[in-house]
Amino acid sequence: MTERPIMASLPNAVRRTLTANGETLSYYLGRMESDVARALTFVPVGQNGVQSFLNEECLPWNAGGYQRPGSATRMRKFGKYLAKHPLSVIPAVVLSGRDQWEFEPSQQSSDFGTIHCYGAAAIVDGQHRVGGFTYLYDEDELDNRPIDFVLVVGLDLEAESALFEDINVNARGVPMAIRAILGGGDDVEVAQALHEDDDSPFQGRIKIGLPGSQYLFTMDTLGKCVGRTFRHGAFTDTVLDSKVELMKGYWTRIADTFPEEWADFDLPRRERKFKLLEATGLITFSLAGEDILADAFDPMSQTINWPQVEDTLQRLLGFLDLDKTGQFENLTGERGAPVIHRRIQEILAAPRGPDHAGDVAEE
């Protein structure tokens, strides 16, 4: 064995072989625990992510950065699923040894032995599953679980990238149930995060199939409006976690700008006085994302100028009527929201300053 410091040794590993066209490939089945998974693995990504519960190595695509950054939202979601379903059978993740993991056979059999880890292996498939396990361990160190893996050794970067492509495009080895937990599309996952996260202005108020519960919007409606909010080309490369934070920040500032309208938040649906917290208001401000958010967003740095957003929202005060019995009384939902959105555009297009205060006066 190579004389290098050993980071960890993983016992009870099994060697398997495949033979075809005169060639033989060996791979290894094993387990690692949640408490060491972050240290023993990394994800080769092509751009820096916002947050991850794993180590990421950012490289150009042609130098091995063939994956997208991981989503902390999806990792938390999977970790919460694991916490609620401790007996779930989770498919093995696929690792590339990168010459850092070596198999040492036992004295009894060449197909059984120990894998010695001298450095980090690359996660080829399963970063959100591994991230879910590490998130759960971070939350509760007593919840240290085994993670099944398949280790492939001897791959160069081209072969490793091709394996990733085969698994994620052609094979799809993860069962539908697990894929549904890990991702139902960015728009739906952003909506779910807005329902679940403690710092979300909509936390706990999205209807997900519980009859009789008090809610603001359905998950389907919110998911569609997430898509509307980010339809501007400026958000083409915006990752899931950034979208979650942008939606939280946007609607928190809307709530701060329109406190009287936001006071409907805790009222029963029939007692609400304004359109803001009805589907009409949600759709309206989602359509206005291209006017308010996109203009303040820098696609190159993936950052937003929140003071500019706040200033833009302030310009609507006194000119945008959201009263249910006001200017747009009979305009609701998908039919009414575009009309109110055009009103927002008129207000924002008007010249600023006291000399033009009447330019957008209510008709």
Condensed to tens digits (0 to 9), the pLDDT of residues 42-91 reads: 999 987 777 789 999 988 766 778 888 888 888 998 999 999 988 888 99
Provide the pLDDT for residue 268. Answer: 82
Residue spans of the domains in the chain: they are 8-182, 186-356
Amino acid at 281: G
Q: What is the pTM of this model?
A: 0.64
pLDDT of residue 357: 45
**Given this model, what pLDDT does residue 363 score?**
45
Tokens of 27: 């791979």
- Write out the E strands in 181-307: 206-207, 217-218, 297-298, 303-304
* Residue 111, amino acid: D
Amino acid at 258: F
Whether residue 31 contacts residue 4, with contact meaning beta carbons closer than 8 Å, is answered with: no
pLDDT of residue 290: 94
Asked if residues 68 and 82 have their Cβ atoms less than 8 Å apart, the reply is no
Please say whether the beta carbons of 89 and 32 come within 8 A.
Answer: no
Whole-number Cα distances in Å, 341 to 316, 337, 344, 357? 11, 6, 5, 20
Burial of 6 (0-12, 13-18, 19+ CB in 10 A): exposed
The pLDDT of residue 314 is: 96
Distance CA 73, CA 52 (A): 9
pLDDT of 22 reads: 84
User: Alpha carbon of 158 to those of 41, 67, 96, 124: distances in Å?
Assistant: 19, 13, 12, 12
Residues in the chain, pLDDT under 70: 1-2, 61-62, 169-184, 208-214, 353-363
pLDDT recorded at residue 354: 47
Give per-residue pLDDT as tens, 207-221.
765 444 467 888 888
